[in-house]
Amino acid sequence: MVTVVTHPLVQHKLTLMRDERTGVKEFRELAGEVSLLLAYEAMRDLDLAQERLRTPIVEDDFPVLSGKKLALVAILRAGLVMTEAIVDLVPAAKVGHIGLYRDPQTLAPVAYYNKLPADIADRRVFVTDPMLATGGSASAAIRSLKDAGAQGGNITLMCILTAPEGIAVIERDHPDVRIVTAAVDSHLNDHGYIVPGLGDAGDRIYGTK
Ligand code: PRP
Ligand code: URA
């Protein structure tokens, strides 16, 4: 299932990210802000339980988060800026990292790092990567989460921008995983970049090229 967050704040900030004139500092800040707004939607179905406490006025029952604990998993390197923003919202979440880069010739994901919470199987998992292009990186990351015991139904893939080709790959490889994104763009170009897109997310976040 794909959820596109059409909120005007998200769409406006995404447009600023697309603008080639947007510099590194502003791009990084916008990526964090859009990530928070995506998290608001992605976490809409978290379980609540009632807890009894006293306000300064009365004693009553009030909602608190309950159910499965959370994990945020960043696909390095660009996903890092997303988890760093979201963890402020859910400070009790554990944070995992999966290092993958796309081979520039084959576009196939190359794995170089994997560090996940030991109890990942028992957690709701929010995987972050700004870009879902061919879907190779995200599919491989979700595969390693499942190999570590995470259930597909407990995994949400959060991407700022997606391409139809990448969504099709995730729906084929991991039909049980939900995708939350700010937009589904038109297509991929011959180099595997999203069109119209926003360019190379990692390079724009970290000022490399
Ligand atoms: C980018 C992006 C995704 C991947 C998406 O990472 O952050 O991880 O490409 O492409 P895909 O869907 O075709 O796999 P990149 O390989 O540029 O690495 P980086 O984050 O280290 O810059
Ligand atoms: N990775 C990016 O950073 N941007 C794209 O458009 C495709 C893959």
DSSP of 138-195: HHHHHHHHHHTT--GGGEEEEEEEE-HHHHHHHHHH-TT-EEEEEEE-SEE-TTS-EE
Query: Comparing C-alpha atoms, which of 180, 131, 188, 172 is closest to residue 155?
Result: 180
Domains and CATH numbers, the chain: 2-46+65-206 (3.40.50.2020)
Question: How many Cβ atoms are within 10 Å of 87's Cβ, its own excluded?
Answer: 17
Q: Is 67 left (phi over 0), alpha (psi -120 to 50) or beta?
A: left
Q: What is the Å distance from ligand 1's center to 203 Cα?
A: 10
Buried/exposed 60-79: b ≥16 CB within 10 Å, e otherwise: eeeeeeeeeebbbbbbbbbb
Q: What is the Å distance from ligand 2's center to 190 Cα?
A: 12
- To test ligand 1's pocket by mutation, which of 81, 97, 100 has the most ligand atoms within 8 angstroms of CB? 100
Query: Comparing C-alpha atoms, which of 94, 92, 101, 89 is closest to residue 115?
Result: 94
Task: List, for residues 52-107, the tens digit of each pLDDT value.
Answer: 999 999 999 999 999 899 999 999 999 999 999 999 999 999 999 999 998 988 99
Cβ-Cβ contacts under 8 Å for 196 (sequence gap 6 or more):
18, 185, 186
Confirm whether residue 98 is marked as ligand binding: no
Confirm whether residue 17 is marked as ligand binding: no
- To test ligand 1's pocket by mutation, which of 76, 102, 127 has the most ligand atoms within 8 angstroms of CB? 102
The residue whose C-alpha atom lies closest to atom 5 belonging to ligand 2 is 193
Please report the pLDDT score of residue 129 as a whole number. Answer: 98
What is the chain's Cα-based Rg?
A: 18
- Which two tokens mark 181? 């994104």
- pLDDT above 70 covers what percent of the chain? 100
Residue 150 pLDDT greater than 90, yes or no: yes
- Which two tokens mark 42? 């992605």
200 in active site: yes
Report the predicted TM-score, pTM, of the whole model to 2 decimal places.
Answer: 0.97
Complex ipTM value: 0.97
Please report the pLDDT score of residue 104 as a whole number. Answer: 86
- Which two tokens mark 45? 């179905």
Active-site hit among 102, 123, 178, 204: 102
Active-site hit among 18, 122, 173, 200: 200
